[in-house]
C-alpha cells in the first residue's frame, strides 16, 4: 500500500531504492534486480547520471540509432537519433537516400532571436509608466552588464526591451518584453538571469521616479518564453516531377498530386494536422534528445507556432511550380551546442562530434532536415502502400521480444512475414503454431 515519506531527498540512493521496493513491489528482489541492471558499471559515469536530476534510483535507456546519407547544403551527415519508436530511424534513412541523388536538402536559418518577459502589475497612470520605462531602459541594460559581458564579447546579448500593455486581457497587467541573441547556447539560464536583473532594477528604482509609489509595481514573475517565432529555420527539397519515379506502380505525376493533397489536408484539418506534425516531431525530437537539448521546450514552441494563425495547421508545405516539386518546412527551434548536457553526457558529446561539432545555427538546420525527412517518408507511405506495411514489419521484433522468442524462432518468423501481413494477432498465431 502506498504511503507518504518525509525527508526522502536526504536518504542515500540505496535507502531510496529500499523504500520504493518495500512500498510498491510484491516481488522485491526482482524489482531491485531490474533497478540495478540498468546502472552503469563505471561508478564515475553512474555518479554523473545520478547527479543530472534529483532522487535518481537508476537509468532509463533509449536506443541511439543513426540515419546516414543526409546531404544538407552539399555537406554529407550521419544523423544521431535517440528514440524508442519502431520505423522512425529507418524512415529517415530511406528519405535521406531518396533525396541524396536529387540535390539533397537545402536549409537556411532565417533568424535566431529568443524572447523573455518580466510580468508585472502597475496600479497607476499608464503615461507615467511609459515615461518611467523610457527613463529606466538604459539602466536595465547597464545593470545586467555583469551577466551579459561575456555573451557580448562573442557577439550576443540583449537586443531590445519593450514595454507591453496587456491590460485589455488582465487588469493592471504589463510586460517587459525582451529579445536576446544567445549564439551557440540555448540560453535559458542567461535569459532568466537577465530578466531577474531587469525586474529588480525596474522595481527598486521606481520609487525615485516622480508619480510612482513603491506599492504601484508588483513583479509577478520573470521567465524566458519557449515560444520563439523569431528563431526560425527553413529546410526544403525539390526536384523535377518526373524524378519522383521510385515506385514503378505509381506515376511521378500521380505521386506528386496525391502527396500535395495530403499536405493540403493537414493544412486545413486539425485532426490530421496533429498526427502529421507528430510525425515531424518523431524526427526532430530524436535529434534534439541525442544532442542534449530540451525536446519539451522545442515541442511546446513548435506546436504554438503551428497554431499562430488561429487554427492548428501543418508545419510542412508542398507544391508543384513550373514542373518542379517542392516540399519544405519552416519551424522555430531554440537549440544549443554549448552548456547544459552538451558538455556532460558522453553520448551527447559523441553525437555532436558525429555531426562535425556544429554551431547552434548548423544544428537548427540539421534538426529541421530530420523533421522534413521524417514527414516525407510518412506521407510517401501513406499515399502509396499505406503506413502499416512498413511500420508493422519494423514492429515485428518488438512483438517477438514481448513473447520471448529465441533466435531460431525469430529467424523463422522474420522469414515468414516477408511474404505475410504483419499484425499483432498474426504474429501471436504464428508463434503459437511454431511452438506446437
pLDDT, position 146: 97
Same domain? 186 vs 295: no
Same domain? 68 vs 140: no
Tell me the pLDDT tens digit for each residue of 57-77. Answer: 999 999 999 999 999 999 999
Question: Of the candidates 224, 246, 280, which is a domain's last residue?
Answer: 224
Question: Of the candidates 205, 224, 243, which is a domain's last residue?
Answer: 224
pLDDT, position 393: 59
Tell me the pLDDT tens digit for each residue of 128-141. Answer: 999 999 999 999 99
- Burial tier of 6 (Cβ tally within 10 Å: 0-12, 13-18, 19+): exposed
* 55 within a domain of the structure (yes/no): no
Residue % of the chain over a pLDDT of 70: 97
Full domain range(s) for residue 27: 8-50
Q: What whole-number distance in Å separates Cα of residue 396 and Cα of residue 402? A: 10
* 57 within a domain of the structure (yes/no): no
The answer for residues whose C-beta is within 8 angstroms of residue 181's C-beta and 6 or more apart is: 112, 113, 114, 155, 156, 157, 159
Per-residue pLDDT at 342 exceeds 90: no
Per-residue pLDDT at 211 exceeds 60: yes
Any idea of the CA torsion for 291, 296, 298, 302, to the nearest 10 degrees? 150
Per-residue pLDDT at 167 exceeds 90: yes
* 347 within a domain of the structure (yes/no): yes
Rounded to an integer, the average pLDDT of 266-289 is 98
C-alpha cell at 424: 499483432
Same domain? 208 vs 308: no
Per-residue pLDDT at 386 exceeds 70: no
Q: What whole-number distance in Å separates Cα of residue 160 and Cα of residue 1? A: 55
CATH number at residue 148: 3.30.70.420
Same domain? 373 vs 394: no
C-alpha cell at 254: 500521380
Per-residue pLDDT at 295 exceeds 60: yes
* 58 within a domain of the structure (yes/no): no
* 203 within a domain of the structure (yes/no): yes
Same domain? 86 vs 120: no
Positions of E strands within 73-156: 75-82, 106-109, 114-122
* 229 within a domain of the structure (yes/no): no
CB 246 within 8 A of CB 377: no
DSSP string for residues in 173-211: EEEEEEEEE-TTB--HHHHHHHHHHHHHHHHHTGGGSTT
Tell me the pLDDT tens digit for each residue of 236-262. Answer: 999 999 999 888 888 999 999 999 999
Catalytic (active-site) positions: 85, 278, 294, 391
How many domains are contained in the chain? Answer: 4
Residue 2 confidence class, pLDDT cut points 50, 70, 90: low
pLDDT, position 388: 53
* 350 within a domain of the structure (yes/no): yes
Cα-atom radius of gyration of the chain, to the nearest Å? 26
* 59 within a domain of the structure (yes/no): no
Mean pLDDT, the chain, rounded, equals 94
Pairing of strands 106-109, 232-240: antiparallel
Same domain? 45 vs 79: no
Rounded to an integer, the average pLDDT of 363-368 is 98
Amino acid at each position: 500500500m502506498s504511503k507518504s515519506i518525509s525527508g526522502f531527498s536526504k536518504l542515500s540512493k540505496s535507502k531510496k531504492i529500499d523504500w520504493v521496493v518495500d512500498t510498491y513491489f510484491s516481488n522485491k528482489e526482482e524489482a531491485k534486480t531490474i533497478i540495478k541492471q540498468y546502472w552503469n558499471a563505471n561508478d564515475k559515469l553512474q555518479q554523473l547520471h545520478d547527479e543530472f536530476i534529483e532522487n535518481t534510483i537508476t537509468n532509463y535507456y533509449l536506443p541511439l540509432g543513426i540515419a546516414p546519407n543526409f546531404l544538407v547544403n552539399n555537406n554529407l551527415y550521419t544523423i544521431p537519433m535517440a528514440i524508442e519508436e519502431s520505423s522512425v530511424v529507418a524512415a529517415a534513412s530511406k528519405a535521406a537516400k531518396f533525396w541524396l541523388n536529387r540535390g539533397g536538402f537545402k536549409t537556411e536559418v532565417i533568424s535566431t532571436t529568443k524572447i523573455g518577459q518580466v510580468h508585472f502589475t502597475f496600479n497607476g497612470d499608464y503615461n507615467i509608466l511609459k515615461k518611467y520605462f523610457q527613463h529606466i531602459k538604459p539602466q536595465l541594460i547597464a545593470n545586467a552588464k555583469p551577466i551579459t559581458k561575456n555573451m557580448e564579447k562573442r557577439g550576443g546579448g540583449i537586443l531590445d526591451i519593450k514595454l507591453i500593455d496587456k491590460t485589455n486581457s488582465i487588469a493592471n497587467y504589463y510586460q517587459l518584453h525582451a529579445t536576446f541573441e544567445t549564439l551557440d547556447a540555448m540560453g535559458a539560464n542567461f535569459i532568466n538571469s537577465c530578466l531577474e536583473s531587469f525586474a529588480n532594477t525596474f522595481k527598486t528604482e521606481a520609487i525615485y521616479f516622480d508619480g510612482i509609489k513603491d506599492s504601484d509595481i508588483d513583479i509577478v514573475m520573470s521567465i524566458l518564453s519557449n515560444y520563439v517565432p523569431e528563431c526560425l529555420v527553413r529546410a526544403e527539397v525539390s526536384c523535377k516531377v518526373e524524378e519522383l519515379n521510385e515506385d514503378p506502380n505509381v506515376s511521378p505525376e500521380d505521386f506528386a498530386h496525391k502527396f500535395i493533397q495530403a499536405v493540403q489536408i493537414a493544412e486545413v484539418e486539425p485532426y490530421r494536422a496533429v498526427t502529421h506534425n507528430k510525425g515531424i516531431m518523431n524526427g526532430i525530437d530524436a535529434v534534439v534528445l541525442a544532442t542534449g537539448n530540451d525536446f519539451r521546450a522545442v515541442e511546446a514552441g513548435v506546436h504554438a507556432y503551428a497554431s499562430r494563425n488561429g487554427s492548428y495547421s501543418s508545419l510542412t508545405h508542398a507544391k508543384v511550380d513550373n514542373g518542379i516539386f517542392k516540399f519544405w518546412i519552416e519551424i522555430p527551434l531554440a537549440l544549443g551546442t554549448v552548456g547544459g548536457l552538451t558538455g556532460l553526457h558522453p553520448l551527447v558529446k559523441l553525437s555532436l562530434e558525429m555531426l562535425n561539432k556544429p554551431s547552434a545555427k548548423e544544428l537548427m538546420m540539421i534538426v529541421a532536415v530530420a523533421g522534413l525527412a521524417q514527414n516525407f517518408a510518412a506521407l510517401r507511405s501513406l499515399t502509396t502502400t499505406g503506413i502499416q506495411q512498413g511500420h508493422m514489419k519494423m514492429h515485428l521484433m518488438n512483438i517477438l521480444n514481448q513473447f520471448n522468442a529465441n533466435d531460431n524462432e525469430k529467424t523463422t518468423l522474420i522469414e515468414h512475414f516477408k511474404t505475410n501481413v504483419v499484425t499483432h494477432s498474426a504474429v501471436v498465431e504464428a508463434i503459437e503454431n511454431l511452438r506446437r
